[in-house]
Chain A
């Protein structure tokens, strides 16, 4: 069956450390993979998109990797800050005009 899993429901880390979130999927072949941030009571906000032929993408303190052999994406936040506390969602972007397939999210708490 098709599955998308984010390894941790919740992750607590200390300010200044690097947070690493994992997204694994099975029986999908996404052309792209996207990461979103969602704050409580708000809609998700787009962070990064990585293509299937890209290994790594960076944006400021964010880094995403995409391994289509392992069927896994890693999302890193370096020098984490309390303001980074939120739920982070990975989403598979299949071909055509199909909706994204979302993971359940990882709730990140950065402790000062």
Chain B
């Protein structure tokens, strides 16, 4: 079945540095990918919708200059956490689906970010 691959699965970085997380759809093209953030025992919180070839759409309260999203191809979206701080430590998950509403959405395995 369709698979979404996310990399890295875990990353530790120093405060003030930037971290890039990649999300790839392995056997389908995704014009749209979604980025979520999840704190322990909390629900998935949608951060932004990544659109291939255009600017991402950010949810209210999400800083676009801090969380840079680039959807350079139909199979790859990247999330860069810039100038990371300890409060950015979280579980970041991407998702994508072949086609539109009514199709299964596939999630990546998630990326644990720890900022020290």
Q: Which residues of A contact B (CB under 8 A)?
A: 31-32, 34, 36, 41-46, 49, 51, 89, 91, 93-100, 102-105, 107
Name the distance in Å between B30's Cβ and chain A's nearest Cβ. 10
Q: Judging by beta carbons under 8 Å apart, are A41 and B91 in contact?
A: yes
Q: For residue A104, which residues in chain B have a CB less than 8 angstroms away from its CB?
A: 42-43
Contacts of A49 in B (CB 8 A): 102, 104
Are A102 and B101 in contact, CB atoms less than 8 angstroms apart? Answer: no
Q: Which residues on A sit within 8 Å (CB–CB) of B77?
A: none
Distance between B55 CB and nearest chain A CB, rounded to angstroms: 15
CA distance A105 to B106 in the complex (A): 17
Chain B residues with Cβ under 8 A from A95's Cβ? 101
Separation of A51 and B34 alpha carbons in the complex (Å): 22
Contact indicator per residue, chain B 83-110, by CB within 8 Å of chain A (1) or not (0): 0000000010101000011101111111
Query: Is A99 within 8 A of B34, CB to CB?
Result: yes
Give the residue name and chain of the B residue nearest to A47 (CB): B104
